[in-house]
Amino acid sequence: DAGVTQSPTHLIKTRGQHVTLRCSPISGHKSVSWYQQVLGQGPQFIFQYYEKEERGRGNFPDRFSARQFPNYSSELNVNALLLGDSALYLCASSLVTGELFFGEGSRLTVL
């Protein structure tokens, strides 16, 4: 069975640009969460979606948005990129709550 898949794996953007990251959860998982991991730190929670509704939001500016589709896949969008947005963006899926299964992440570099 496929695990959580994320795309793209790596990308480079410049300040002010927009980025869309994609995530496909494990089959049967209805909850998707997004985390930002800056180098040398633990993951920081951005969003959680369950059944296409936002169920949790971390302390991130409105430049960050997400959505979940009917097939439970998800997108994370970041507008007006800043240098500080450079990080590994992790997607995790779970059945409802409980154990999180993480993808390998999308590494974003903002120049």
Partner 1 sequence: GESVGLHLPTLSVQEGDNSIINCAYSNSASDYFIWYKQESGKGPQFIIDIRSNMDKRQGQRVTVLLNKTVKHLSLQIAATQPGDSAVYFCAEPTQDNDMRFGAGTRLTVKP
Q: Kind of pairing, strands 19-24 and 5-7?
A: antiparallel
Per-residue contact string for residues 61-90; x = within reach of partner 1 by CB under 8 A: -----------------------------x
Check binding of 103 to partner 1 (CB under 8 A): yes
Which is closer to partner 1, CB of 49 or CB of 81? 49
Q: Per CB under 8 A, which region of 14-22, 55-63, 67-75, 76-84 contacts partner 1? A: 55-63
Cβ at position 8, least distance to partner 1 in Å:
14
The β-bridge partners of 91 are: 34
CB 47 within 8 A of CB 58: yes
Q: Give the integer Cα–Cα distance in Å for 36 and 68.
A: 18
Tokens of 35: 């985390």
Q: Tokens representing 30?
A: 């209805």
Map the footprint of partner 1 across residues 14-53, applying CB under 8 A. 33, 35, 40-45, 48
